[in-house]
């Protein structure tokens, strides 16, 4: 759970990561709503929104994976106690990226996209749960608040850089 924070203190990296997980989970729910469409109109609306939502999910998820890999994991890897956790996190990121790329293949029928998204959602839920219960709690235990806040700043700077690179590429 995110920790209570005074409004003036800079963001703790762990709180920012929790917020990212919540945002990505919401994107997943939006992209893959539960249940079947109740009418043809609803079905057409769902299909036409699927690709747009999938691309929003992609942007949000890729930014999150990138900042963890470029800010959080390298910092944590300096400590022996984190190494096994970080190795597993990198493996799970590879699986998530592969799942995302599968779903984004051009010409993929919607029902296949949905199946791939279900599998991506299951993988991500497992990954987020692992990070929150193991990695984030270890960060809070071992890294002082001032350093977590410094990491939080770096995380936001790196996220902006990532968005700039994306804009240039797009």
Stretch 124-143 residues interacting with Fe ion (CB under 5 A): 131
Shortest approach of Fe ion to residue 105 CB, angstroms? 23
Shortest approach of Fe ion to residue 24 CB, angstroms? 8
Stretch 68-127 residues interacting with Fe ion (CB under 5 A): 68
Q: What is the contact mask toward Fe ion in residues 36 to 75, using x (rule: CB under 5 A)?
A: --------------------------------x-------
Residue with tokens 């968005």: 163
Nearer to Fe ion, 102 or 123 (CB): 123
Looking at residue 2, what DSSP letter applies? Answer: P
| Rounded Cα–Cα distance for residues 59 and 14 (Å) | 21
| Rounded Cα–Cα distance for residues 161 and 166 (Å) | 9
| Rounded Cα–Cα distance for residues 61 and 127 (Å) | 12
| Rounded Cα–Cα distance for residues 55 and 75 (Å) | 30
Shortest approach of Fe ion to residue 113 CB, angstroms? 23
Given a contact cutoff of 8 angstroms between Cβ atoms, the answer to whether 102 and 116 are in contact is yes
Told to check if 15 binds Fe ion by CB under 5 A, we report no
Shortest approach of Fe ion to residue 160 CB, angstroms? 18
Positions touching Fe ion (CB under 5 A) are 68, 131
């Amino acid at each position: 759970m995110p920790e209570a924070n005074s409004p003036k203190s800079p963001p703790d990296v762990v709180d920012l990561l929790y917020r990212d997980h919540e945002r990505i989970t919401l994107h997943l729910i939006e992209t893959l709503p539960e249940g079947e469409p109740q009418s043809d109109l609803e079905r057409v609306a769902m299909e036409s929104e699927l690709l747009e939502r999938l691309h929003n999910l992609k942007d949000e998820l890729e930014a999150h994976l990138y900042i963890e890999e470029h800010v959080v994991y390298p910092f944590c890897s300096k400590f022996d106690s984190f190494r096994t956790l970080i190795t597993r996190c990198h493996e799970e990121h590879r699986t998530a990226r592969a799942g995302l790329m599968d779903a984004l293949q051009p010409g993929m029928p919607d029902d296949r996209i949905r199946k791939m998204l279900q599998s991506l959602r299951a993988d991500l839920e497992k990954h987020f749960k692992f990070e929150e219960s193991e990695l984030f709690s270890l960060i809070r235990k071992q890294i002082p608040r001032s350093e977590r806040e410094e990491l939080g700043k770096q995380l936001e700077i790196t996220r902006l850089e990532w968005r700039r690179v994306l804009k240039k590429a797009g």
